[in-house]
Amino acid sequence: MPFTPLHMGPGLAVKAVMQRKFSLLVFGWSQVAIDLQPLIAMTTGRVELHGFSHTLVGATLIGLLCGATGKHLGEWGLRVLREPRHLPIRWRVSFGSAFIGTYSHVLIDSVMHVDVLPFAPFSLARPLHAAISIDALHVLCVATAVVGGLAWWAIDRAVRR
């Protein structure tokens, strides 16, 4: 399913570790952007769901787009959320968060979906497919969300004092 919240779990863990050197909003924007192709495929009845957008080449291009647009979108989001203390989002943070988002998305979907060919067009190899069970992958994503979210909340609370 496009835009799955499970991809945000690892993002919360990265946010807990990197704090202001990572933007969860830009990361989330990259998760949505990379899944636009599967959404279009699903709504138009196309057979190929995870095409070019779910390759490392596609993830790089989408990461560049999300890094370039994510700084301003993220800053707007922070203003809407009334979180000015996290402003500004630096360009390095925007691009880094976007690339972490797109590459982690391809990594997770490479394990889960048989039609993800991360090394295309150079190779049709799928070395990560079924490396762990889908249930284990879901548990891992939820666990990183819980642990990362709690750690981020605790660190943020401690910093506010």
The pLDDT tens digits of the residues spanning 98-139 come to 999 999 999 999 999 999 999 999 999 999 999 999 999 999
Residue 36 located in a structural domain: yes
Residue 161 located in a structural domain: no
Please give the pLDDT value at position 160.
76
Please give the pLDDT value at position 149.
95
pLDDT score of 32 more than 70: yes
Residue 74 located in a structural domain: yes
Q: Which of 35, 37, 36, 92 is nearest to 67 (CA)?
A: 92
Name the pLDDT band for 13 (thresholds 50, 70, 90).
very high
Residue 1 located in a structural domain: no
- Tokens 């666990």, residue? 143
Residue 40 located in a structural domain: yes
Which comes out higher in pLDDT, residue 116 or 46? Answer: 116
pLDDT score of 1 more than 60: no
Q: CA 89: distance to chain centroid?
A: 17
Residue 55 located in a structural domain: yes
60-97, pLDDT tens digit by residue?
Answer: 999 999 999 999 999 999 999 998 888 999 999 999 99
Please give the pLDDT value at position 90.
98
Rounded Cα distance between 1 and 38, Å, is 8
Q: Are 72 and 30 in contact (CB under 8 A)?
A: no
> Could you list the residue range(s) of the whole structural domain that residue 53 is in?
19-130
Q: Are 105 and 66 in contact (CB under 8 A)?
A: no
SS3 20: helix
pLDDT score of 5 more than 90: no
Residue 142 located in a structural domain: no
How many domains are there within the chain? Answer: 1
Structure tokens at 152: 């981020």
pLDDT score of 3 more than 70: no
End-to-end CA distance of the chain: 40
Residue 3 located in a structural domain: no
Q: Which of 54, 144, 143, 67 is nearest to 98 (CA)?
A: 67
